[in-house]
């Protein structure tokens, strides 16, 4: 939460000669971060959610006083003493009857003021409110905004006469569901049930406490008497109501963070003083103060060794005591421990690590040395993947001309349906930000197709992505396998060639494994790696509309068949014979199985390769080799004859003669 | 010398010419076939050849002369050809692909941390509320959760682990890593993964990447965190880059820090620099692991301490000097004009 504070306002609470730039520098290093200083020396300060005590001018002044002092710049928090609230002898109005039907109330302060005169706030107050981006109204409203910002506890003014006209009772209770009420900004709401509300004796809601006032009891131009009110409620209840109603006022944002109820009284005194001064108000009742079960902070015992464990240095008792006392803590030290009782406004200090944080930040993180850790290394690597292979595959594909893509894991309904899985078998978000990012994808291909379509000027484009897909699993997290997807508008043979090259690079073939593209439907196939009789399915290959080739491989399966090195084959000492045979291939004959049949027809055939295709003529290259002795043309002759027979049986015609 | 030696002397000329390193044909012509050239020198040996060997010597002379001439012509042609290549012609390039900049950043980041003993891991992107929040000392309905704009998966909650969410940070890997290592430090983890938040503008995308460092062992101090940050800054942004930590608040670390790196554009001075805040860039959060988080991972906080940090890959990468990317949505646009620049 960011807070704006004009320098002049800060110095009403902070006595120092530090320049604004010093205040920015040292506060940022050891306390709340001063992100910017705007024109007119207005600090823009980020206060973390646990430090509600710093969300005010005085809170920042208190931090600054401690931090500047450590930096060697004289600084002091000015004392704040205000006169007690005493009823005007000539005025006497009864307080409303306050009835508690819930235990979620930590404190209530209230006083009646009367004879209020309409007035504008003084110029300084108006300028400061404008500087902190708060609208200026009349003095009465401005006072409550001003003191909230200055001291950090929200407050409220009711129109006293309206409260009394409704029976003079304020019943504090948990709301039943569905009751209507209208807030000060004239917006109608209905209770959610369970949030704290104020009701009149006839059950009308007259306030959404700690969050926002209601119109039926708010002040207006006719108001002459007010009930000046401060409540401290259970922070969780405040948050529940604020989030539930989506009313995120400054009051709600402070009250949901456990503002110190002890702060209420001084805020009330300050408000009364300003109302007397600016609106000529007269105190017409005694101060009502309901403060059950006052919270008493407990001492936190910290082992000195633990401080050293965190900081890596030894802090002497005097230094520890000095830092913590400056932070309003009570400290006692013995030989091995320190006992620290934090002030009531620091509910964030609960465990030893919290105290160590205070010591370290005020001592100065920048004062601590910087050094790498020594010691034993952790060696158990990730069993789910191999990052070396991930990088290798990415680099290899890029070197082959493939562009890597990162696309969103969340997809539209249309893309989900295009995955081949029914929409109902997808996981969706219950709170998507956009329609096009609603479903967790089960395939990377539709995302890649979209990217190809987004780049129509690129002819023959090849793209790939390595990312997770998400398959629902009953009563469990979805399975989230890492998947490698390739999509290309280049001709199928070239894409397959790249796949074969990739598998070569991963030493798949050099470890006695082969690639099998097993067609399951026209244009759709399984990508399989075979080794002996074992088959490992890597994923799918399909030809999409427009002749796009899409390959999707399961990463873990690809890893299973990949190797870091080949299985070394003895170098051959014998000569090989290379020959080509050309056949005319009729339509409908699959070349893959035919080549397998060629290869398997004789052990002396070392390799079979499709060399070229010209119209219906396919030229195959054969290498014949005997590992034991040099092969002769006489030996090749029957093998060649067998090859022609296999081809002829498959309805191919030899071009030329043997 | 015998007649055989004389014949060898002739054929030696060819060998000598082939061994020449100069390609200037004219120089070689003068050297071999010129008035006082090597051929003339060898021809003059005829007077020492026996009368019966003179015929063979003459024939060999002719043969070698022809070979020399033909070789010199070949060299001359080669030289002419070489001279005719227009070196100003543009190159013919093979189609080249590109690794996505995020992959490049992740690879660089991982390598830097691996050098100082960190183990790279990856944990689920769709995970239980327990690992994303609850085990990290963030009970249900805690205001600290507001800072994480969480996407919820529309599926049944687990009775113990809670709702299924898209990971808002890589910190879900903290307790998971402790569990994987059976709660036995030392732990030095670098977890890089996709993360998701319900937000979208020029500096925020619904999906982005984070890297999370976690170190747990005996005697791990704030000084070690500072050392690690300085090491990373120097290696990722270049020598002289400094880091600093400032107080911050996260529920899962205590103390918690905001981490800044010194601006390499203005040299950390902040003077007239529109890229940084007073000489520093804010990169993300860090802190000493909260005792409750160690306990959730089965580790005794009385014995062990640790630190953790988690920053956006995109944010960290775009702070590199001279990169000038002002809209991180481009990373996920699939725009080739953008991607082919990397």
Tens of pLDDT, residue by residue over A410-456, are 999 999 999 999 999 999 999 999 999 999 999 999 999 999 999 98
pLDDT bracket for residue B143 (50, 70, 90): low
Q: Tell whether domain A2-77 is in CATH 3.40.50.880.
A: no
What pLDDT is attached to residue B278?
75
Is A440 within 8 Å of B180 when comparing Cβ atoms? no
What does the DSSP assignment read for B21-60?
Answer: ----HHHHHHHHHSTTSHHHHHHGGGGGS-TTTHHHHHHH
What pLDDT is attached to residue B1?
64
Q: What is the fold of A300-365?
A: Phenylalanyl-tRNA Synthetase; Chain B, domain 1 (3.30.56)
Helix, strand, or coil (residue A400): coil
**Alpha carbon B296 to its chain's center:** 36
Mean pLDDT, chain A, whole residue set: 95
Q: To the nearest whole percent, how much of chain A has pLDDT over 90? A: 93
The span from the CA of A624 to the CA of A156, in Å, is 97
Measured in residues, chain A has a length of 658
What pLDDT is attached to residue B322?
85
Is A440 within 8 Å of B126 when comparing Cβ atoms? yes
What pLDDT is attached to residue B82?
66
Which carries the bigger pLDDT value, residue A105 or residue B266? A105
Is B247 within 8 Å of A30 when comparing Cβ atoms? yes
CATH superfamily of A576-654: Ferrodoxin-fold anticodon-binding domain (3.30.70.380)
Residues of A in contact with B122 (CB under 8 A): 382, 384-385, 482
pLDDT at B6 over 80: no
Q: B216-258: per-residue pLDDT in tens?
A: 999 999 999 999 999 999 999 999 898 999 999 999 999 999 9
Is B122 within 8 Å of A379 when comparing Cβ atoms? no
Domain limits of chain A?
Answer: 2-77, 97-290, 300-365, 387-561, 576-654
**Closest CA–CA distance from residue A227 to any residue of chain B (Å):** 31
Q: A310-365: per-residue pLDDT in tens?
A: 999 999 999 999 999 999 999 999 999 999 999 999 999 999 999 999 999 999 99
Q: A155-204: per-residue pLDDT in tens?
A: 999 999 999 999 999 999 999 999 999 999 999 999 999 999 999 999 99
Residues of B in contact with A237 (CB under 8 A): none
CA pseudo-torsion sign B236, B238, B242, B246: negative
Is A398 within 8 Å of B98 when comparing Cβ atoms? yes
What pLDDT is attached to residue B41?
85
Domains of chain B: 3-83 (no CATH), 101-327 (3.30.930.10)
Is A430 within 8 Å of B153 when comparing Cβ atoms? yes
**Closest CA–CA distance from residue A519 to any residue of chain B (Å):** 29
Domain pair A2-77 / A300-365, same fold? yes
Is A369 within 8 Å of B229 when comparing Cβ atoms? no
Residues of A in contact with B222 (CB under 8 A): 310-312, 360, 365, 368
What does the DSSP assignment read for B233-288?
Answer: HHHHH-TT--EEEEEEEETTEEEEEEEEEE-TTTTT--TT-SSSBTTEEEEEEEEE
What pLDDT is attached to residue A42?
97
Is A365 within 8 Å of B221 when comparing Cβ atoms? no
Q: A9-47: per-residue pLDDT in tens?
A: 999 999 999 999 999 999 999 999 998 899 999 999 999
What pLDDT is attached to residue A576?
93
Is B226 within 8 Å of A365 when comparing Cβ atoms? yes
What pLDDT is attached to residue A99?
97
Among A239, A382, A441, A484, which would you mutate to test the B interface (most chain B Cβ atoms within 10 Å of its Cβ)?
A382
Which carries the bigger pLDDT value, residue A1 or residue B286? B286
Q: A615-644: per-residue pLDDT in tens?
A: 899 999 999 999 899 999 899 999 999 999
Helix, strand, or coil (residue A576): strand
Average pLDDT over residues B311-318: 93
Is B334 within 8 Å of A407 when comparing Cβ atoms? yes
What does the DSSP assignment read for A8-52?
Answer: HHHTTTEEE---HHHHHHHHHHHSSEEEEEETTTEEEEE--TT-G
What pLDDT is attached to residue A521?
93
| Cβ A58 vs Cβ A9: under 8 Å | no
* Chain A CB within 8 Å of residue B40 CB: no
Q: Judged by CB atoms within 8 Å, which residues 101-120 of B form the interface with A? A: 102-103, 107, 110, 116-117, 119-120
Among A244, A376, A395, A403, which would you mutate to test the B interface (most chain B Cβ atoms within 10 Å of its Cβ)?
A403
Encoded tokens for A93: 């109005």
* Chain A CB within 8 Å of residue B219 CB: yes
What pLDDT is attached to residue B275?
73
Sheet holding A42-46, edge to edge: A2-6, A42-46, A33-38
- Alpha-carbon Rg of chain B, whole angstroms? 37
Q: Smallest Cβ distance to A49: which of B158, B219, B249?
A: B249
Among A378, A388, A399, A468, which would you mutate to test the B interface (most chain B Cβ atoms within 10 Å of its Cβ)?
A378
Q: What is the fold of A97-290?
A: Phenylalanyl-tRNA Synthetase; Chain B, domain 3 (3.50.40)
Q: What is the fold of A387-561?
A: BirA Bifunctional Protein; domain 2 (3.30.930)
Among B132, B154, B200, which would you mutate to test the A interface (most chain A Cβ atoms within 10 Å of its Cβ)?
B154
Average pLDDT over residues B84-109: 91
What pLDDT is attached to residue B18?
75
- What crossing angle do the helices spanning B54-83 and B3-19 adopt, rounded to 10°? 0
Q: B36-54: per-residue pLDDT in tens?
A: 888 888 888 888 888 877 8
């Amino acid at each position: 939460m960011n807070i704006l504070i004009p320098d002049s306002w800060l110095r009403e609470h902070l006595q120092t000669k530090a320049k604004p730039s010093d205040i920015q520098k040292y506060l940022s290093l050891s306390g709340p971060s001063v992100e910017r200083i705007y024109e007119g020396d207005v600090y823009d300060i980020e206060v973390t959610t646990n430090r509600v005590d710093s969300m005010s001018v005085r809170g920042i002044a208190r931090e600054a006083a401690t931090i500047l002092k450590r930096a060697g710049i004289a600084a002091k928090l000015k004392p704040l003493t205000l006169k007690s609230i005493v009823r005007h002898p000539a005025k006497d109005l009864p307080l409303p009857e306050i009835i508690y039907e819930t235990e979620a109330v930590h404190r209530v302060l209230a006083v009646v003021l009367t004879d209020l005169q309409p007035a504008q706030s003084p110029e300084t107050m108006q300028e400061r409110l404008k500087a902190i981006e708060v609208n200026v109204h009349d003095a009465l409203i401005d006072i409550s905004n001003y003191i909230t910002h200055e001291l950090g506890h929200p407050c409220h003014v009711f129109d006293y006469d309206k409260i009394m006209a409704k029976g003079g009772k304020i019943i504090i209770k948990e709301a039943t569901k569905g009751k209507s009420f209208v807030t000060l900004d004239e917006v109608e709401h209905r209770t959610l049930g369970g949030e704290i509300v104020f009701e009149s004796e006839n059950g009308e809601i007259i306030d959404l406490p700690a969050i926002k006032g209601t119109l039926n009891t708010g002040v207006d131009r006719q108001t002459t008497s007010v009930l000046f009110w401060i409540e401290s409620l259970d922070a969780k209840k405040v948050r529940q109501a604020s989030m539930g109603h989506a009313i995120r006022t400054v009051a709600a944002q402070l009250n949901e963070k456990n503002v110190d109820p002890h702060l209420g009284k001084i805020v009330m005194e300050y408000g009364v003083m300003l109302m007397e001064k600016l609106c000529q108000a007269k105190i017409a009742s005694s101060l009502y103060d309901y403060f059950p079960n006052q919270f008493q902070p407990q001492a936190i015992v910290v082992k000195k060794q633990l401080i050293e464990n965190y900081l890596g240095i030894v802090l002497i008792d005097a230094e520890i005591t000095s830092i913590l006392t400056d932070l309003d803590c009570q400290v006692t030290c013995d030989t091995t421990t320190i006992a620290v009782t934090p002030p009531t406004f620091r509910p964030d200090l609960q465990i030893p690590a919290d105290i160590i944080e205070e010591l370290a930040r005020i001592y100065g993180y920048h004062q601590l040395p910087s050094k790498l850790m020594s010691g034993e290394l952790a060696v158990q690597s990730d069993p789910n993947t191999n990052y070396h292979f991930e990088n290798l595959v990415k680099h290899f594909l890029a070197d082959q001309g493939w562009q890597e893509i990162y696309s969103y894991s969340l997809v539209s309904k249309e893309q989900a349906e295009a995955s081949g899985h029914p929409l109902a078998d997808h996981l969706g978000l219950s709170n998507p930000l956009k329609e096009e990012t609603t479903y967790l994808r089960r395939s990377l291909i539709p995302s890649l197709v979209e990217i190809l379509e987004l780049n129509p000027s690129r002819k023959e484009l090849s793209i790939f992505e390595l990312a997770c897909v998400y398959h629902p699993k009953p009563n469990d997290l979805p399975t989230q396998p890492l998947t490698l997807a390739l999509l290309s508008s280049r001709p199928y043979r070239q894409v397959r060639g790249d796949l074969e090259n990739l598998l070569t690079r991963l030493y798949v073939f050099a470890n006695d494994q082969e690639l099998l593209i097993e067609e399951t439907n026209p244009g759709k196939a399984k990508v399989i790696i075979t080794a002996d009789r074992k088959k490992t399915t890597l994923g799918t290959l399909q030809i999409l509309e427009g002749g796009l080739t899409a390959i999707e491989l399961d990463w873990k399966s690809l890893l299973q068949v990949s190797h870091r090195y080949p299985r070394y084959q003895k170098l051959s000492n014998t000569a090989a014979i290379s020959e080509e045979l050309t056949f005319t291939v009729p339509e409908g004959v699959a070349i893959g199985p035919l080549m397998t049949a060629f290869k398997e027809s004789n052990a002396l055939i070392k390799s079979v390769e499709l060399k070229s295709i010209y119209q219906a003529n396919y030229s195959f290259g054969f290498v014949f080799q005997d590992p034991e002795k040099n092969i002769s043309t006489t030996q090749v002759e029957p093998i060649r004859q067998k090859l022609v027979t296999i081809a002829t049986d498959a309805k191919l015609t030899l071009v030329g003669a043997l | 010398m015998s007649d055989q030696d004389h014949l060898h002397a002739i054929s030696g000329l060819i060998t000598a010419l082939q061994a020449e390193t100069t390609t200037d044909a004219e120089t070689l012509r003068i050297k071999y076939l010129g008035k006082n050239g090597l051929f003339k020198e060898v021809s003059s040996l005829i007077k020492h050849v026996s009368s019966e060997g003179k015929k063979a010597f003459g024939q060999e002379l002719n043969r070698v002369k022809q070979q020399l001439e033909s070789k010199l012509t070949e060299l001359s042609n080669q030289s002419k050809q070489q001279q005719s290549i227009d070196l100003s012609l543009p190159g013919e390039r093979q189609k080249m692909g590109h690794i996505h900049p995020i992959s490049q950043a992740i690879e660089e980041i991982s390598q830097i941390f691996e050098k100082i003993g960190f183990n790279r891991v990856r944990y689920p992107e769709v995970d239980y509320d327990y690992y994303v929040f609850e085990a990290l000392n963030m009970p249900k309905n805690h205001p600290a959760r507001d800072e994480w704009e969480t996407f919820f998966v529309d599926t049944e909650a687990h009775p113990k682990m809670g709702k299924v969410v898209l990971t808002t940070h890589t910190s879900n890997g903290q307790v998971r890593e402790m569990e994987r290592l059976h709660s036995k430090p030392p732990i030095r983890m670098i977890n890089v993964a996709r993360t998701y938040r319900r937000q979208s503008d020029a500096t925020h995308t619904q999906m982005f990447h984070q890297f999370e460092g976690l170190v747990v062992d005996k005697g791990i101090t704030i000084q070690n965190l500072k050392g690690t940050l300085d090491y990373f800054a120097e290696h990722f942004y270049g020598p002289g880059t400094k880091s600093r930590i400032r107080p911050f608040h996260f529920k899962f670390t205590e103390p918690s820090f905001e981490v800044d790196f010194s601006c390499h554009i203005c040299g950390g001075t902040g003077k007239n620099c529109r890229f940084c805040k007073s000489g520093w860039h804010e990169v993300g959060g860090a802190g000493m692991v909260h005792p409750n988080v160690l306990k959730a991972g089965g580790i005794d906080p009385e014995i062990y301490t640790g630190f953790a940090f988690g920053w956006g890959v995109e944010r960290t990468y775009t702070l590199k000097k001279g990169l000038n990317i002002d809209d991180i949505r481009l990373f996920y646009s699939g725009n080739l004009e953008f991607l082919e620049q990397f």
